A and B are shown apart, each in its own frame.
Chain A
Amino acid sequence: MEKHQEQKLARVVWVLVSIVFVCNIIAIFLVPSAVMTNQQDVLHGAGNYLGGIFAPGEDDIQAAGVMASLLCWFWVWQEAYSGVLALFLIFCGVCTAVIIYQGRRILATILAGTPFCVDNAVSLRRAAVCCFLIAAAALARLIWGLFWYRSAAPLVTYNALFIPIFLMGGLLCLVMSALFRQAARMREENDLTI
Protein backbone atom coordinates (compact mmCIF):
# COMPACT_ATOMS: atom_id res chain seq x y z
CA MET A 1 0.00 0.00 0.00
CA GLU A 2 1.43 3.35 -1.01
CA LYS A 3 2.03 5.65 1.90
CA HIS A 4 0.49 9.11 1.84
CA GLN A 5 2.77 12.05 2.53
CA GLU A 6 1.00 12.79 5.82
CA GLN A 7 1.83 9.25 7.01
CA LYS A 8 5.55 9.85 6.45
CA LEU A 9 5.34 13.13 8.33
CA ALA A 10 3.15 11.59 11.02
CA ARG A 11 5.90 9.01 11.62
CA VAL A 12 8.40 11.82 12.33
CA VAL A 13 5.95 13.62 14.62
CA TRP A 14 5.11 10.31 16.36
CA VAL A 15 8.80 9.75 17.18
CA LEU A 16 9.20 13.36 18.42
CA VAL A 17 5.99 13.18 20.46
CA SER A 18 7.15 9.89 22.01
CA ILE A 19 10.45 11.55 23.03
CA VAL A 20 8.52 14.48 24.51
CA PHE A 21 6.27 12.01 26.38
CA VAL A 22 9.30 10.31 27.98
CA CYS A 23 10.80 13.75 28.84
CA ASN A 24 7.43 14.73 30.34
CA ILE A 25 7.39 11.69 32.65
CA ILE A 26 11.03 12.34 33.71
CA ALA A 27 10.17 16.02 34.28
CA ILE A 28 7.25 15.08 36.56
CA PHE A 29 9.65 12.98 38.66
CA LEU A 30 12.15 15.86 38.86
CA VAL A 31 9.58 18.54 39.80
CA PRO A 32 10.10 18.43 43.62
CA SER A 33 13.93 18.46 43.29
CA ALA A 34 13.79 21.36 40.79
CA VAL A 35 11.41 23.34 43.02
CA MET A 36 13.63 22.81 46.05
CA THR A 37 16.79 23.77 44.09
CA ASN A 38 15.40 27.05 42.73
CA GLN A 39 11.87 28.18 43.61
CA GLN A 40 12.07 31.36 41.53
CA ASP A 41 13.19 29.71 38.29
CA VAL A 42 12.25 26.03 38.14
CA LEU A 43 13.86 25.45 34.72
CA HIS A 44 17.22 26.70 36.01
CA GLY A 45 16.60 24.69 39.19
CA ALA A 46 16.18 21.52 37.11
CA GLY A 47 19.30 22.46 35.08
CA ASN A 48 21.38 22.98 38.24
CA TYR A 49 20.10 19.77 39.81
CA LEU A 50 20.85 17.68 36.70
CA GLY A 51 24.20 19.46 36.32
CA GLY A 52 25.10 18.35 39.87
CA ILE A 53 24.37 14.72 38.94
CA PHE A 54 25.77 14.45 35.40
CA ALA A 55 28.65 16.94 35.74
CA PRO A 56 29.42 16.83 39.48
CA GLY A 57 31.74 19.36 41.07
CA GLU A 58 34.32 18.43 43.73
CA ASP A 59 31.76 18.75 46.54
CA ASP A 60 28.89 16.96 44.76
CA ILE A 61 28.02 13.39 45.69
CA GLN A 62 26.09 11.81 42.81
CA ALA A 63 24.41 9.04 44.82
CA ALA A 64 23.19 11.61 47.37
CA GLY A 65 21.82 13.76 44.52
CA VAL A 66 19.88 10.83 43.06
CA MET A 67 18.51 9.90 46.49
CA ALA A 68 17.56 13.55 47.10
CA SER A 69 15.24 13.45 44.06
CA LEU A 70 13.24 10.75 45.90
CA LEU A 71 13.36 12.45 49.30
CA CYS A 72 12.28 15.78 47.78
CA TRP A 73 8.89 14.16 47.12
CA PHE A 74 8.43 14.20 50.93
CA TRP A 75 10.31 17.41 51.78
CA VAL A 76 8.72 19.73 49.22
CA TRP A 77 5.37 19.96 51.05
CA GLN A 78 6.89 21.45 54.22
CA GLU A 79 6.75 25.03 52.90
CA ALA A 80 3.52 26.57 51.51
CA TYR A 81 5.04 28.28 48.46
CA SER A 82 7.14 25.33 47.25
CA GLY A 83 4.27 22.93 48.01
CA VAL A 84 1.77 24.90 45.89
CA LEU A 85 4.32 25.26 43.07
CA ALA A 86 5.16 21.53 43.09
CA LEU A 87 1.49 20.53 43.25
CA PHE A 88 0.65 22.82 40.31
CA LEU A 89 3.56 21.55 38.19
CA ILE A 90 2.84 17.87 38.94
CA PHE A 91 -0.87 18.33 38.14
CA CYS A 92 -0.05 20.13 34.87
CA GLY A 93 2.60 17.51 34.08
CA VAL A 94 0.05 14.69 34.43
CA CYS A 95 -2.44 16.62 32.24
CA THR A 96 0.18 17.26 29.54
CA ALA A 97 1.16 13.57 29.67
CA VAL A 98 -2.50 12.67 28.97
CA ILE A 99 -2.65 15.24 26.12
CA ILE A 100 0.56 13.88 24.57
CA TYR A 101 -0.72 10.31 24.94
CA GLN A 102 -3.94 11.26 23.10
CA GLY A 103 -1.78 12.91 20.42
CA ARG A 104 0.18 9.67 20.03
CA ARG A 105 -3.07 7.72 19.58
CA ILE A 106 -4.29 10.14 16.90
CA LEU A 107 -0.92 9.95 15.11
CA ALA A 108 -1.11 6.13 15.26
CA THR A 109 -4.45 6.22 13.39
CA ILE A 110 -2.89 8.52 10.76
CA LEU A 111 -0.01 6.04 10.43
CA ALA A 112 -2.55 3.22 10.02
CA GLY A 113 -4.19 5.18 7.20
CA THR A 114 -7.51 5.68 9.03
CA PRO A 115 -7.38 9.22 10.42
CA PHE A 116 -11.09 9.95 10.06
CA CYS A 117 -12.57 7.83 12.84
CA VAL A 118 -14.75 8.52 15.89
CA ASP A 119 -11.93 7.37 18.23
CA ASN A 120 -9.90 10.43 17.24
CA ALA A 121 -12.83 12.69 18.08
CA VAL A 122 -12.99 11.06 21.53
CA SER A 123 -9.19 11.46 22.00
CA LEU A 124 -9.41 15.15 21.10
CA ARG A 125 -12.27 15.63 23.57
CA ARG A 126 -10.12 14.07 26.33
CA ALA A 127 -7.23 16.38 25.36
CA ALA A 128 -9.64 19.35 25.54
CA VAL A 129 -10.69 18.39 29.09
CA CYS A 130 -7.01 18.24 30.12
CA CYS A 131 -6.39 21.69 28.58
CA PHE A 132 -9.31 23.12 30.56
CA LEU A 133 -7.98 21.49 33.74
CA ILE A 134 -4.55 23.12 33.22
CA ALA A 135 -6.23 26.50 32.60
CA ALA A 136 -8.28 26.05 35.81
CA ALA A 137 -5.16 25.06 37.80
CA ALA A 138 -3.28 28.11 36.46
CA LEU A 139 -6.23 30.33 37.43
CA ALA A 140 -6.30 28.81 40.94
CA ARG A 141 -2.53 29.40 41.29
CA LEU A 142 -2.90 32.98 40.04
CA ILE A 143 -5.63 33.72 42.60
CA TRP A 144 -3.51 32.07 45.32
CA GLY A 145 -0.51 34.20 44.23
CA LEU A 146 -2.55 37.42 44.37
CA PHE A 147 -3.54 36.65 47.99
CA TRP A 148 -0.06 35.37 48.97
CA TYR A 149 1.92 38.37 47.64
CA ARG A 150 -0.88 40.97 48.10
CA SER A 151 0.35 42.56 44.86
CA ALA A 152 -0.46 42.53 41.12
CA ALA A 153 2.93 40.96 40.26
CA PRO A 154 1.53 37.42 39.57
CA LEU A 155 -0.51 38.92 36.71
CA VAL A 156 2.67 39.48 34.67
CA THR A 157 4.06 35.95 34.84
CA TYR A 158 4.09 32.95 32.50
CA ASN A 159 1.49 31.38 34.80
CA ALA A 160 -1.08 34.09 33.99
CA LEU A 161 -0.35 33.57 30.28
CA PHE A 162 -1.16 29.85 30.62
CA ILE A 163 -4.85 30.60 31.39
CA PRO A 164 -5.90 32.04 27.98
CA ILE A 165 -3.47 29.77 26.08
CA PHE A 166 -4.86 26.54 27.51
CA LEU A 167 -8.46 27.79 27.45
CA MET A 168 -8.08 28.47 23.73
CA GLY A 169 -6.14 25.20 23.25
CA GLY A 170 -9.06 23.33 24.84
CA LEU A 171 -11.62 25.08 22.62
CA LEU A 172 -9.45 24.33 19.57
CA CYS A 173 -9.38 20.63 20.55
CA LEU A 174 -13.20 20.68 20.84
CA VAL A 175 -13.53 22.22 17.36
CA MET A 176 -11.10 19.65 15.93
CA SER A 177 -13.01 16.88 17.71
CA ALA A 178 -16.26 18.02 16.03
CA LEU A 179 -14.47 18.18 12.65
CA PHE A 180 -13.02 14.67 13.03
CA ARG A 181 -16.51 13.37 13.93
CA GLN A 182 -17.92 15.06 10.84
CA ALA A 183 -15.13 13.67 8.64
CA ALA A 184 -15.66 10.17 10.11
CA ARG A 185 -19.34 10.36 9.17
CA MET A 186 -18.41 11.55 5.67
CA ARG A 187 -15.96 8.66 5.26
CA GLU A 188 -18.62 6.17 6.37
CA GLU A 189 -21.00 7.59 3.75
CA ASN A 190 -18.21 7.31 1.16
CA ASP A 191 -17.47 3.70 2.12
CA LEU A 192 -21.13 2.72 1.90
CA THR A 193 -21.51 4.25 -1.58
CA ILE A 194 -21.01 1.69 -4.37
Chain B
Amino acid sequence: MYEKTAGGKTAGALTVLVNLVLICNLLALGFVPVLAALAGSGIGPERLVEMLTAAPPQPGEWGIHFSPGMVLFLVLVGGWTENFAYTLVLTLFLLFCGVCTAVILWQGRKILGTVRAGSPFCVENARSLRRAAVCCFLIAAASVARVAWGLLWYRSAAVLAGYNALFVPVCFISGLLCVVMSHLFLRAAQMREENEFTI
Protein backbone atom coordinates (compact mmCIF):
# COMPACT_ATOMS: atom_id res chain seq x y z
CA MET B 1 0.00 0.00 0.00
CA TYR B 2 1.55 3.28 -1.18
CA GLU B 3 -0.02 5.59 1.43
CA LYS B 4 0.98 3.35 4.25
CA THR B 5 4.61 3.34 3.08
CA ALA B 6 4.65 7.12 2.52
CA GLY B 7 3.11 7.73 5.97
CA GLY B 8 5.53 5.23 7.50
CA LYS B 9 8.56 6.96 5.96
CA THR B 10 7.44 10.41 7.16
CA ALA B 11 6.69 8.91 10.56
CA GLY B 12 10.26 7.50 10.61
CA ALA B 13 11.74 10.95 9.92
CA LEU B 14 9.44 12.50 12.51
CA THR B 15 10.39 9.88 15.10
CA VAL B 16 14.07 10.81 14.72
CA LEU B 17 13.23 14.51 15.23
CA VAL B 18 10.91 13.75 18.17
CA ASN B 19 13.68 11.70 19.79
CA LEU B 20 16.11 14.59 19.38
CA VAL B 21 13.59 17.05 20.83
CA LEU B 22 12.88 14.70 23.74
CA ILE B 23 16.60 14.50 24.56
CA CYS B 24 16.89 18.31 24.29
CA ASN B 25 13.79 18.64 26.47
CA LEU B 26 15.25 16.42 29.21
CA LEU B 27 18.62 18.23 29.02
CA ALA B 28 16.87 21.62 29.13
CA LEU B 29 15.04 20.57 32.32
CA GLY B 30 18.42 20.46 34.11
CA PHE B 31 19.31 23.97 32.89
CA VAL B 32 15.97 25.54 33.84
CA PRO B 33 17.22 27.24 37.06
CA VAL B 34 20.15 28.73 35.10
CA LEU B 35 17.98 29.90 32.19
CA ALA B 36 15.37 31.34 34.57
CA ALA B 37 18.11 33.26 36.41
CA LEU B 38 19.37 34.66 33.09
CA ALA B 39 15.84 35.88 32.33
CA GLY B 40 15.46 37.17 35.91
CA SER B 41 18.71 39.14 35.71
CA GLY B 42 17.09 41.34 33.05
CA ILE B 43 20.12 41.04 30.77
CA GLY B 44 18.97 40.24 27.25
CA PRO B 45 20.64 37.54 25.12
CA GLU B 46 22.38 40.13 22.92
CA ARG B 47 23.95 41.94 25.90
CA LEU B 48 24.92 38.62 27.51
CA VAL B 49 26.69 37.40 24.34
CA GLU B 50 28.45 40.80 24.21
CA MET B 51 29.58 40.48 27.85
CA LEU B 52 30.77 36.89 27.41
CA THR B 53 32.78 37.68 24.28
CA ALA B 54 34.20 41.05 25.45
CA ALA B 55 37.93 41.41 24.72
CA PRO B 56 40.21 41.88 27.77
CA PRO B 57 41.89 45.31 28.14
CA GLN B 58 45.23 45.77 26.36
CA PRO B 59 48.43 45.83 28.48
CA GLY B 60 48.77 49.27 30.07
CA GLU B 61 45.08 50.03 29.54
CA TRP B 62 42.90 50.36 32.64
CA GLY B 63 39.63 48.45 32.87
CA ILE B 64 37.70 45.79 34.76
CA HIS B 65 37.42 42.51 32.94
CA PHE B 66 35.66 39.33 34.09
CA SER B 67 36.22 35.93 32.56
CA PRO B 68 33.12 34.42 30.80
CA GLY B 69 32.67 31.96 33.71
CA MET B 70 32.70 34.81 36.25
CA VAL B 71 30.25 36.86 34.16
CA LEU B 72 27.85 33.90 34.02
CA PHE B 73 28.21 33.30 37.78
CA LEU B 74 27.52 36.97 38.63
CA VAL B 75 24.50 37.05 36.29
CA LEU B 76 23.07 33.89 37.89
CA VAL B 77 23.58 35.17 41.42
CA GLY B 78 22.01 38.49 40.34
CA GLY B 79 18.94 36.72 38.95
CA TRP B 80 18.39 34.61 42.08
CA THR B 81 18.94 37.46 44.56
CA GLU B 82 17.81 40.73 42.95
CA ASN B 83 14.71 39.25 41.26
CA PHE B 84 14.03 36.19 43.44
CA ALA B 85 10.20 35.97 43.13
CA TYR B 86 10.22 36.23 39.33
CA THR B 87 13.07 33.72 38.94
CA LEU B 88 11.44 31.23 41.33
CA VAL B 89 8.01 31.38 39.65
CA LEU B 90 9.62 31.10 36.20
CA THR B 91 11.74 28.10 37.32
CA LEU B 92 8.73 26.25 38.76
CA PHE B 93 6.61 27.05 35.70
CA LEU B 94 9.27 25.92 33.22
CA LEU B 95 10.04 22.73 35.17
CA PHE B 96 6.34 21.83 35.29
CA CYS B 97 5.82 22.61 31.59
CA GLY B 98 9.05 20.76 30.72
CA VAL B 99 7.81 17.58 32.41
CA CYS B 100 4.43 17.89 30.65
CA THR B 101 6.05 18.41 27.22
CA ALA B 102 8.31 15.39 27.86
CA VAL B 103 5.18 13.28 28.54
CA ILE B 104 3.51 14.66 25.35
CA LEU B 105 6.63 13.85 23.29
CA TRP B 106 6.76 10.35 24.80
CA GLN B 107 3.13 9.74 23.82
CA GLY B 108 3.95 11.08 20.35
CA ARG B 109 6.82 8.59 20.07
CA LYS B 110 4.46 5.75 21.02
CA ILE B 111 1.90 6.80 18.38
CA LEU B 112 4.59 7.18 15.70
CA GLY B 113 5.85 3.68 16.64
CA THR B 114 2.43 2.21 15.81
CA VAL B 115 2.30 4.20 12.53
CA ARG B 116 5.70 2.79 11.51
CA ALA B 117 4.54 -0.70 12.52
CA GLY B 118 1.57 -0.28 10.13
CA SER B 119 -1.12 -0.52 12.83
CA PRO B 120 -2.01 3.11 13.64
CA PHE B 121 -5.72 2.55 14.33
CA CYS B 122 -5.60 0.95 17.77
CA VAL B 123 -7.14 1.72 21.17
CA GLU B 124 -3.70 2.32 22.69
CA ASN B 125 -3.19 5.39 20.44
CA ALA B 126 -6.50 6.82 21.60
CA ARG B 127 -5.27 6.45 25.20
CA SER B 128 -1.92 8.08 24.33
CA LEU B 129 -3.71 11.07 22.78
CA ARG B 130 -5.91 11.40 25.86
CA ARG B 131 -2.80 11.49 28.08
CA ALA B 132 -1.26 14.12 25.77
CA ALA B 133 -4.49 16.14 26.06
CA VAL B 134 -4.32 16.06 29.87
CA CYS B 135 -0.75 17.38 29.70
CA CYS B 136 -1.83 20.18 27.32
CA PHE B 137 -4.58 21.20 29.77
CA LEU B 138 -2.06 21.13 32.64
CA ILE B 139 0.29 23.48 30.74
CA ALA B 140 -2.67 25.79 29.99
CA ALA B 141 -3.62 25.75 33.70
CA ALA B 142 -0.01 26.49 34.74
CA SER B 143 0.07 29.41 32.27
CA VAL B 144 -3.19 30.77 33.72
CA ALA B 145 -1.67 30.51 37.21
CA ARG B 146 1.49 32.34 36.09
CA VAL B 147 -0.49 35.09 34.33
CA ALA B 148 -2.67 35.50 37.47
CA TRP B 149 0.49 35.71 39.60
CA GLY B 150 1.97 38.29 37.19
CA LEU B 151 -1.18 40.42 37.34
CA LEU B 152 -1.18 40.39 41.16
CA TRP B 153 2.60 40.85 41.55
CA TYR B 154 3.19 43.61 38.96
CA ARG B 155 -0.34 45.12 39.19
CA SER B 156 -0.18 45.79 35.46
CA ALA B 157 -2.09 44.52 32.44
CA ALA B 158 1.17 44.32 30.44
CA VAL B 159 1.42 40.66 31.51
CA LEU B 160 -1.57 39.93 29.25
CA ALA B 161 0.48 40.93 26.18
CA GLY B 162 3.28 38.43 26.90
CA TYR B 163 4.08 35.08 25.28
CA ASN B 164 2.95 33.36 28.48
CA ALA B 165 -0.63 34.63 28.06
CA LEU B 166 -0.55 33.29 24.48
CA PHE B 167 0.21 29.78 25.82
CA VAL B 168 -3.21 29.60 27.53
CA PRO B 169 -5.46 29.47 24.43
CA VAL B 170 -2.83 27.63 22.34
CA CYS B 171 -2.44 24.78 24.85
CA PHE B 172 -6.16 24.69 25.66
CA ILE B 173 -7.17 24.35 21.99
CA SER B 174 -4.35 21.81 21.41
CA GLY B 175 -5.69 19.77 24.35
CA LEU B 176 -9.22 19.81 22.91
CA LEU B 177 -7.84 18.80 19.50
CA CYS B 178 -6.01 15.87 21.12
CA VAL B 179 -9.29 14.75 22.75
CA VAL B 180 -11.12 14.97 19.38
CA MET B 181 -8.28 13.03 17.67
CA SER B 182 -8.41 10.47 20.47
CA HIS B 183 -12.13 9.85 19.74
CA LEU B 184 -11.41 9.61 16.02
CA PHE B 185 -8.65 7.04 16.60
CA LEU B 186 -11.07 5.06 18.76
CA ARG B 187 -13.69 5.12 15.98
CA ALA B 188 -11.10 4.15 13.37
CA ALA B 189 -9.96 1.27 15.61
CA GLN B 190 -13.56 0.03 15.87
CA MET B 191 -13.94 0.34 12.08
CA ARG B 192 -10.73 -1.66 11.53
CA GLU B 193 -11.97 -4.40 13.87
CA GLU B 194 -15.29 -4.54 12.00
CA ASN B 195 -13.35 -4.79 8.72
CA GLU B 196 -11.19 -7.60 10.02
CA PHE B 197 -14.16 -9.63 11.27
CA THR B 198 -15.96 -9.29 7.91
CA ILE B 199 -15.29 -12.26 5.64
List residues of A whose CB falls within 8 A of some B CB: 4-6, 9-10, 12-13, 16-17, 20, 43-44, 46-47, 51, 107, 110, 115-116, 149, 151-153, 156-158, 164, 167-168, 171-172, 174-175, 177-179, 181-183, 185-187, 189-190, 193
Q: Are B10 and A164 within 8 A (Cβ)?
A: no
By secondary structure, the A interface counts as helix
Contact A13 B176 (CB under 8 A): yes
- A6 in contact with B120 (CB, 8 Å): no
Sample (30) of A-B pairs whose CB atoms are under 8 Å apart:
A5-B183, A6-B187, A9-B183, A13-B176, A16-B173, A20-B173, A43-B166, A46-B161, A47-B161, A110-B184, A116-B188, A151-B49, A158-B163, A164-B17, A164-B21, A171-B10, A171-B13, A171-B14, A175-B11, A178-B4, A178-B7, A178-B10, A179-B120, A181-B3, A183-B121, A183-B188, A186-B192, A186-B195, A187-B191, A189-B195
* Residues in B81-104 with C-beta less than 8 Å from chain A: none
Besides A13-B176, A44-B158, 5 other A-B contacts (C-beta < 8 A): A4-B183, A6-B183, A107-B180, A110-B180, A171-B17
Summarize B's interface: helix, strand, loop or mixed: helix
B window 1-42: CB within 8 A of A? 1, 3-4, 6-7, 10-11, 13-14, 17-18, 21
B162: shortest Cβ distance to chain A, in Å? 6
- In the complex, how many angstroms separate the beta carbon of A50 from the nearest chain B beta carbon? 9
Report, as a range, how many residues of chain B touch the other chain.
35 or more
Residues from chain B with a CB closer than 8 A to the CB of A164 are: 17, 21
The answer to whether the Cβ of B61 comes within 8 Å of any Cβ in the partner chain is no
Closest beta carbon of chain A to B165's beta carbon, Å? 8
Query: CB distance A9 to B179 under 8 Å?
Result: yes
Measured between beta carbons, the chain B residues less than 8 angstroms from A156 are: 45
Q: Check A175/B112 contact, CB under 8 A, given A20-B173, A151-B46.
A: yes
Is A167 within 8 A of B17, CB to CB?
yes
Give the distance to chain A from B110, nearest Cβ to Cβ, in Å. 14
Q: For A13, list chain B residues within 8 Å (CB).
A: 173, 176-177, 180
Query: How far does the Cβ of B159 sit from chain A's closest Cβ, in whole Å?
Result: 10
The smallest C-beta distance from A138 to any residue of chain B, in angstroms, reads 15
Residue of B nearest to A16 (CB): B173
Q: Measured between C-beta atoms, what is the minimum distance from A151 to chain B in Å?
A: 6
